[in-house]
Every structure is written in C-alpha cells, then in structure tokens.
Amino acid sequence: FSVSGTLNVNQNRESVTLRVGEDEHLQCSTTLIIKGCMFLTPQGDQFFIFDTANYGRIEAASETDMECKIRIPSISEQDNGDWKCIITALSEDGTPIQGNATISVTVAVPPSKMELFVDGVEAESTDLQMKLIPDDHKEIKCVALHARPAPTFTWTLNEEPLHGNIEDSEEVLENGTVNYAQTLLYYPDAKHNGVELKCSLSHEAYSPAQLDSRENERGLNIKLLYKPLESEKTQEFYVQSEGEAKTFNMVFEAFPEPTEVYWDLSGMESHLQQGDTSFNDKYTSSELTPGDTNGEYSISLTIEGVSVEDTKNESSLFVKNSEGETEYKFKIKLGREPAAESMGSGPVVGVVIIILIILILIGLALLIRSKGLFCFAAKTKKSHSSDVERAVEKEGSETESSEDRDPKGNPKRPTGRVSVKVSNLFAAMKSVAKTNKESNNTTNKNDGENKDTTDEKRNFERGSSDVTYVELDKSVLSQGNRSSNTQNNSASEYA
C-alpha cells in the first residue's frame, strides 16, 4: 500500500555509547497504533518486528501497540553505527502514514596498544637521554591505536601534571576505529633528571584488569647530560678571627658524575685534589658526596687555622665531567657574617606614609566641613556691608556728573582723596543706621492700624535680609576735595 502522510516518531535516546558484551534495548514509539515496524542496521540489514519474529541475535521486545522495540543481548563491534526504525500507522481517517527515527550507537573499543615516539622515532627503551642545552626540546608523541571513541590524554612529570605545548591528531582506519595521537613539546630542566615523563590514557572501554596492569600508561625515564651547572655569584665564607679552624661546604649539580675535582686555594701554590691533605696538614678536602636529588653533589674544605694569606685573593673549586668543566669561585673573609637581608624597611615605611596621608586628608575634610569652608559653605544672607556698597554705587551713578565740579563750575582737584573717602564711608554707614531706626519707629506707630498688612509683609520679608538699603553718592568715595556741606546735602534714595 502507499503512504500519504508523515508520522512523528520518538526514540528512547538519540545516541548511546556501549561496551562489547553489554545488553541494550533500542526503542521507537508514536502516539498511534503501529501497523508495521522495521529496524535497519548500520550494515543495511532489515529486521521486521512483530510478536513471533526471531532473528537469532536480535529479538523483538515491543510491549505495547504504540512502540517498536528490539533487544540486543550482547553488543559487538558490528553494532557500531546508526540504527534506523521505520514505523507505519493509520491516521484518524484511516490513511496510512509513516515516520522514522535514528539511534546512533557507539561501541567503545579500548586502545589495542600504546606507543611513544621521540622526534618521530619509536622509543624502544624506557630511557630518554638528552643533553641539557638552552632552548633545546624533544617532540614526544603518544599514540592510542585502534580506539573508539577518542581517549583522554594526560601528561605527568614525576606524578605531577605537566602542561605544555600540545597538539592532537588522528587517523581513521577502515574498520571504523581511529589511531589517536597527542604530541608534547618537552623542554628539559636539570631538576627533571631521574624523574619519569609519562603519558596516560583514560577510556571508558578499559576493563579493570587492563587498568590494574597499567596498559593505559607509557613512560620515559629522563636522563639529562650536562656539565656542572655554573653559579650566579662568588660565594663568601666568614671566619670571626685569624687562626680559627673552619670547614667550608660547596654544593653543585652535574650529570653524569664528575670525574675530576680539585681546589685552587689562595694560600696554596699547588692544587688540592678531592680526598687529599696539603703537605703542611693545613688544608684537607673531603671526597665528593652525592646529594638528596639526582645530579646533586657536595664537597667540603677544612682549614686548620685561617690566615691573612687565605683572605687576600679569591679561591676556586674546579669540577669536570664528560660534558665539560666549571669553576666555582669563593672568597674567605675575616669578621662576623652579615645578617641575611630582609625585605627592608622601605615597603613598611611606604605603607605607614600612605596611611598617615590618608588620616591627614580625612582630618582636613572634617575640619573644612565643621568650619563650613569651600564646597561645605552654606548659602548665607547678604551682609550689611554689601548693602552699603550697593547703595553707594547707585547713588554715585546719579550724582557723579554734578559732584565732579565745584560751585564755580571748575573741575575739582583730587587732594585729600583717601581721608575724605574714609570719612564719607562712616557717614554712609550712619545714614543707614538712622534710616533703620526711623523705619522701625514708623512701623511701631502704624502697628495697630495696619496689623494684617504688616504681618503679610513680615512673612514676605522673612526669607530676606532685614536690612534697609540706602543709596549713597558713590562720588563721595571717589572724589578727594569735597566739603562737609556737599556731603550733608547729597541727595539719597531710601529703599
């Protein structure tokens, strides 16, 4: 029959990762009664699902009329891929409709083998030997063969995580598995000598037995070759007084083990070999002693009675191995050893100064606020002096032309200008005071008659200054030779 519609089909999961041998159910369902159901394998094989269907390894497992389900008792690698279910049902009007859904099955396969490559060559030994050269490095490639899905790579150095320049790559094989690889650029350091550089894989398909046998790990023991490492500065040894016996210890790093060690001392003409004593029994050298870490060595020198000759010049310890020779300089000094340098008082003093500055600024801010200065100043009423100045300016503008000449019409001479200006300023202030007094008396007389009007006026003037303005002759302050009669007869307006 022909299908004329589309059916909405749901699957129990879109994708699933399984291990070989696991039991799994694949299920599709719809909201209508299913009339036909089929599963299509990744290889293209068809399995029609009905109650009595039996395909050997594939079993029908539907439980209702609206689901199509199969059971795979033992998952194998051939089950890897996309499984498609196709369902046919009847619509409400009896028309056949069809739909499908896909379930992606990933059969996890653990890496069949791990390999390590150093600079493109497979590592046949568990040792990685290289010279310690500045900026020199090795490309360490860790490969997981025939794995699915991709494993997780982890690099460690002496069991500590190592994070560096890493690059991933992969190669897809015909059977659907992949060779996954990760390459690490390793830069050696002297402290890495003797430790293990290890690549570890994490994969869900590894069995407990494989993990117990460490099939997921490959490592390289680092062996660095380098001449005795140079010291950054000349070492200093202190002896409190002349004639004191003293033992000095020198520590250095080298690999392989030094083959020749000797002292070149300020108080000796010849070299002193390790383990020897000088002809006069004054200088004795110990044997070379390995340190706590691989490549670390120490040697000591004992002087029976330090003399001035021992302090005149620098002395040296020479150490040589197959990779080269290094000179370690040291100097013996008479006197007490200086105390070890601390962080110094500079940072502490700086912090204290900053705190003091902050406290001073806070104090100034509080003082300015309490005094009402600068931005903290409140808006104040105009002072009496400003009222006087305004009155003087207005009066001066009205009378300036008439006051500038004497009674005969001649210009006045500017003599006694300062004294007259001061006198007239007091006169102006007197006029203001007198005007205020007269104004108050007038207000008291009319208080009973115009009480309501006065109350309204008081309310209106409450927000402004209670000063009566008087406009004075500005020229009184600006002209020097003015008679007292002129001052008394000056015209004034009262506001």
- HSE of 398 in the Cβ direction (CA atoms, 13 Å)? 12
pLDDT digits (tens, 9 = 90+) for 385-442: 444 445 444 444 444 444 444 544 454 444 444 333 434 444 444 443 344 444 444 4
Pairing of strands 15-19, 96-108: parallel
Whether the Cβ atoms of residue 252 and residue 297 lie closer than 8 Å to each other: yes
User: Which segment of 18-27, 182-191, 194-203, 456-465 scores lowest on mean pLDDT?
Assistant: 456-465
Tell which residue, 189, 306, 319, has the closest CA to residue 251.
319
Residue 103 confidence class, pLDDT cut points 50, 70, 90: very high
Task: Indicate whether 478 pLDDT > 50.
Answer: no
Task: Indicate whether 246 pLDDT > 70.
Answer: yes
Task: Indicate whether 382 pLDDT > 90.
Answer: no
φ/ψ of 444, rounded to 5, equals -65, -35
Q: In angstroms, rounded to a whole number, what is the distance separating the alpha carbons of residues 286 and 288?
A: 7
Q: In angstroms, rounded to a whole number, what is the distance separating the alpha carbons of residues 384 and 468?
A: 9
| CB neighbour burial string for 135-158, b if at least 16 within 10 angstroms, e if fewer | eeebebbbbbbbbbeebebbbbbe
Q: In angstroms, rounded to a whole number, what is the distance separating the alpha carbons of residues 177 and 113?
A: 13
pTM above 0.75, yes or no: no
Q: Give the Å distances, CA to CA, from 344 to 223, 338, 348, 387.
A: 42, 14, 8, 64
* pLDDT of the residue at 38: 94
Whether the Cβ atoms of residue 106 and residue 15 lie closer than 8 Å to each other: yes
SS3 484: helix
In the chain, count H helices and then E strands: 8, 32
Tell which residue, 451, 445, 494, has the closest CA to residue 472.
494
SS3 185: strand
Whether the Cβ atoms of residue 294 and residue 253 lie closer than 8 Å to each other: no
* pLDDT of the residue at 344: 55
Burial (CB < 10 A; 0-12, 13-18, 19+), residue 441, is exposed
pLDDT digits (tens, 9 = 90+) for 27-74: 999 999 999 999 999 999 999 988 777 788 888 988 899 999 999 999
Residue 457 confidence class, pLDDT cut points 50, 70, 90: very low
Amino acid, single-letter form, for residue 45: D
φ/ψ of 291, rounded to 5, equals -90, -165
Whether the Cβ atoms of residue 148 and residue 108 lie closer than 8 Å to each other: yes
User: CB within 8 A of 69, min separation 6: which ones?
Assistant: 25, 26, 27, 28, 49, 60, 61, 62, 63
Quote the Cα angle for 180-184-190, to 5°.
Answer: 150
If one counts every other C-beta atom within 10 angstroms of the C-beta of residue 266, the result is 16
Higher pLDDT, 26 or 336: 26
